[in-house]
Structure 1
Amino acid sequence: MVKALVITPVKNAIETTLDTAKAISESNIEVKHIIFNDFSSPETREGLELNQAKFGYDLINLEDFVQKPSPNYDYVLKKGQALALEEKLPLIIVESDVVVKKDTLSSLLTFMENNKGCGMIGAITVDEKGKTNFPYLKFKNEKKQVIQTERSLSFCCTLITTDFLAAYDFNSLERGKDWFDTTISKMSINLGFENFVLNNVPVWHRPHGSRPWKQLKYTNPIKYYWQKFILGRDKI
């Protein structure tokens, strides 16, 4: 029995994406996994199509449906919300630079079931050595296993509950933005829900693996900030 709808937005980065898909396919619960290919290269599209049966995900190539160039995270979220509500399932976002464990998704669901009033539940992100890393460095010294927070949750690996999905229509998201973690996190709180980060549910995160151009922040910061501010990329 399918327990959740899992969505993964993809822009190239085929190797990390397949790591993500493999890990989700090995989860200890059954989920429906959809990869949204956001105008990736022909090589990435081919790789996603070739591995679809192997890892059991559905594939939606956005270039077949939308005109707007990537990023199209708003479209992915709206489609994910509509499908989750239709199936009466919670929505879990697992980005393509994240590797979950066998019990990650079931742990998020168990927490949701045991804690009514949740809006969003995030898994803590760690590096290959198990140390808390971006974007949850703000919690690196936190000892609590369960962190209730009004700070923004990342979509790296985050469950959005059916109650919150029913209360907030993603069609109202501002189309001029590229990313919506902060907007949706704040709306969850504004609507009276509680947001949590689970310090005892770690996922391996390779920062910006899903958006390789952002590595320029560390290797060529001038070029990074040129793209961010002059070209208007990465609008939050």
Structure 2
Amino acid sequence: MGNSFWETQFVLSPPTGPVERHDQVDLYPPVRRGRRPAVVVAHGIPLPPDAPDPRDWLLYRGYGALLAEQGTVAALARLTVDAPAGLPEPAAQLAKAVDLVRADPRVDPDRVILWFFSGSGLLLGDWLRDPPPWLRGLAATYPLLAPLPGWDVDPRFRPLEALAEAEHAPPLVLTRAGQERPEIAAGTEAFIAEAARRGTPVQVIDVPDGRHGFDALDHTDQSRAAVRAARDAVVALLTTP
């Protein structure tokens, strides 16, 4: 029997470092001293009923180590939601995590990026409509950018509509899986088209042979290159004056 997704190895093997658990947020501090930029990671939601804490998944632990290796403070917030109608709860949890991270004395509070995965992509709406001045950008990997058919979702959590309404959306780094589920891929394509129409800067990183979850499921050179490219793009947004 194969491993569950949360037991599947990350496609890269970054050096491990210290991990600090602060209530519902895990911090991955870099070796470098001084105030460092930060990336707050929002894991996929909603989770299967039997899923363990995502902060313990090999995938997200890998991303935390990968970002810390580059001199950023990585933070992984534990988000809880049972159904799409309950998205206000993880949205509030994420905002609280961001406040905790920005208040940490090791973090430069004016250089922060939020990185969304899978279903947490629906939480992008708040940050697209009203981006705070310290938000250097947003990243999304195989994100859900429109509710799936039959999902009862508050209009607040519709990133495509949020982008259309935004006056000054921040730059985005979007990783697109070529073998994505059609109902997710359609929302991604519509989002990219709307960004192009509005002139919103979006760096698209394509993984032509990648599945949803390619960064754990598809251990290929293509997957590894895509993860590195996304990381590098995020770090570039954080370090650009």
TM over 0.5: no
Q: Calculate the TM-score normalised by the size of structure 2.
A: 0.34
**Highest RCO, 1 vs 2 (Cα 8 Å, sep ≥ 6):** 1
Q: Calculate the TM-score normalised by the size of structure 1.
A: 0.35
